[in-house]
Structure 1
């Protein structure tokens, strides 16, 4: 495999070396890592291949599906509308989406949805595969859905429904489709090479995603996959209804949809840029995504304990995951870190105390529920380097 490409600050050479070592694994295909500290980029690395035939080299501008790393961008989009006064965090969602106010959902708020407390982690009635790409079909299904538990009494991660639960209010408040809104007001505004709905001209830059073989994850991953084998379980419905959620990753239809819970497409550099801004309270060097008070609200604990969907202990702020309280569940940077992992290994987060923005992406998916060991090892080595510099 080709040598690691890109830039690194010599003070972080051990992180570059670890990244290279990870990419020497026989199953590794492509990956990228970018880290900012303060206003500076200290690591911007990439290596490997982007196609399943191992013929096409991973380039500086290669894109890849980062799955749930997209969720915080959707949260910022909603909070921008809160900042503008067109939405309210603690008002019933039904004020802007009247059709939602049935089946026990008339008092559900945006805050509850953002913190995974709405009870709407999945649609219970089986949906046809094509429904995933039919915005009205998915919103109608959620309008008719009864909460799986009493809203705000517990929490359960909404891996995919999050996109419509927040996207429909966003569209009604802003007058723009959710993907178009995020692309303009977050990605373009911040200078990110990132899309929720990739234009035709950029499709050829997208890496093909595959899974690691003979990898079974930790105890939480095994429990999750066992539950996913029970068709009527909340977990199975959350990840597999419609069934196309599990089979569409490399399809153009998925890449061009506007499902900001799971189908954001970008690179490590863009994730690091987003989290660089979050590490600085939402604004840096004349670019402002969000008021610092709302950014502070994002990182305040709203949910903690056993997650009804993931079947693991989780802690959430608003649209983001906080540092978890068990080995392998956190960001490797200490209790102040916050961000979001993506299925299979991608990770974006910040450490406000050290002003770190971190982005890692891969097209070789691992089986872990929260943090992938590859990203976590890189984060821990980064923390060690930073500690030496203090």
Structure 2
């Protein structure tokens, strides 16, 4: 495997794990980056920019697109290749209301309706800002799924949520708001700042930190973004980590009446994530596009300075990783832990240690930080597996980072 990039001394286990992902876990194109104490120590990429098997459009390598060009190619992953990271977007998006709170523009304990009056209907009068960040708002589903066009038009999602009745008493329980998180966060940010969430991230987070991260991909950057597609999990090999609950998320998803199915199916039919219109939309739950380097650098700036820039003040960092929700998740079926917008370390999202916070993306990608060790990591891939959390490729890299940062008697 021809791996490009750099690894500092002591972090060679991460490179070894990255290579094994290609050799044993079916990786086709991916990148991983790690920062420690604000400094980049791992920056690796390999494989092909586009998934080179059948992808979401049904094309095979060599198929001709409508414009006469190859629909899928085998161009190598480059230093600046970016990919859609699905729900790993949520972690970066969560930084927006936390930073607005840090600046005194949002009260986390205020009703959402304080900023978005239309939301105060159908039993949602007492939904607080902290509830939408911790997946306690009770609106993970919609009475009627949105079409792909409605999902990205910037209006229909928020309008549907304003009219939606909660599935449970807000604040009393939690369940993953897989897609509705997009319109909750986007509308809240728009009402408070007058800016779209993608523009806010671009101007207040990505530009100062020099991040190749977008919620709403600019047309001039589209050439850098690879095509994603589904890949099957390979046959288990000796020593491979298996993290499967007694009833998996995929099993719950197959039940047409389940909250899982309804929450992940709020956009019907399933949107084509390789469609330029979808990539240009501001969907902070699932539509972010990033390099691994940008994810790692963003999380590094949440826990400390990076080239003179720091995102979170100490009090905000505490908010981000203080447990708000824990236990059986009404949507994901397994036990989950959430802070304010971030998944916390636990069986459903194993990160580096008890103080880690971040967010995986359904199918593979991952971004997180661990303040105790000073580590921040980003991983992106073009091969999307069926799982929602604990992707075996990402977990192999997390374990390698743990090995690299542990003393010999602590290494796992």
TM-score range, shorter chain: over 0.9
**Is the aligned partner of 1:230 residue 2:255?**
yes
Residues 195 and 329 of structure 1, relative CA distance in 2, 3 Å threshold: closer
Q: TM-score, normalised by structure 1?
A: 0.93
Gaps of 5+ in 2: 53-60, 62-72, 236-241
Residue of 372, 379, 389 corresponding to 1:360: 379
Structure 1 residue 292, shift from structure 2 partner: 2.1
Question: What's the C-alpha RMSD, in Å, of the aligned pairs?
Answer: 1.9
1:22 is matched with which residue? 21
Structure 1 residue 348, shift from structure 2 partner: 0.6
1:63 is matched with which residue? 82
**Is the aligned partner of 1:74 residue 2:89?**
no
2:279 is matched with which residue? 255
SS at 1:288 equivalent = coil
Q: Is the contact made by 1:221 and 1:367 (CA closer than 8 Å) also made in structure 2?
A: no
Residue of 344, 347, 352 corresponding to 1:322: 344
**Is the aligned partner of 1:302 residue 2:327?**
no
- C-alpha distance in 2, partners of 1:182/1:295? 18
C-alpha distance after superposition, 1:175-206 (max 9, x if no partner): 11111111111111221111001111111111
Mapping for residues 195-214 of structure 1, pairs under 5 Å: 195-213=214-232
- C-alpha distance in 1, partners of 2:41/2:80? 18
1:39 is matched with which residue? 38
Q: Is the contact made by 2:25 and 2:393 (CA closer than 8 Å) also made in structure 1?
A: no
Tell me the matched-pair count.
383
Q: Is the contact made by 1:215 and 1:367 (CA closer than 8 Å) also made in structure 2?
A: no
Residues 64 and 230 of structure 1, relative CA distance in 2, 3 Å threshold: same
Residues 186 and 145 of structure 1, relative CA distance in 2, 3 Å threshold: same
Residues 133 and 353 of structure 1, relative CA distance in 2, 3 Å threshold: same
**Is the aligned partner of 1:268 residue 2:287?**
no
Gaps of 5+ in 1: none
2:206 is matched with which residue? 187
- C-alpha distance in 1, partners of 2:249/2:38? 39
Residues 26 and 235 of structure 1, relative CA distance in 2, 3 Å threshold: closer
Structure 1 residue 375, shift from structure 2 partner: 1.0
Structure 1 residue 222, shift from structure 2 partner: 6.0
Residue of 293, 309, 315 corresponding to 2:315: 293
- Larger deviation, residues 70-79 vs 307-316: 70-79
Structure 1 residue 220, shift from structure 2 partner: 4.1
- C-alpha distance in 1, partners of 2:345/2:169? 26
2:197 is matched with which residue? 178
Q: Is the contact made by 2:368 and 2:377 (CA closer than 8 Å) also made in structure 1?
A: yes
- C-alpha distance in 2, partners of 1:73/1:307? 22
SS at 1:59 equivalent = coil
Residues 368 and 197 of structure 1, relative CA distance in 2, 3 Å threshold: same
C-alpha distance after superposition, 1:145-171 (max 9, x if no partner): 000001111100101111111211101
Structure 1 residue 134, shift from structure 2 partner: 1.9
Q: TM-score, normalised by structure 2?
A: 0.88
Structure 1 residue 215, shift from structure 2 partner: 5.7
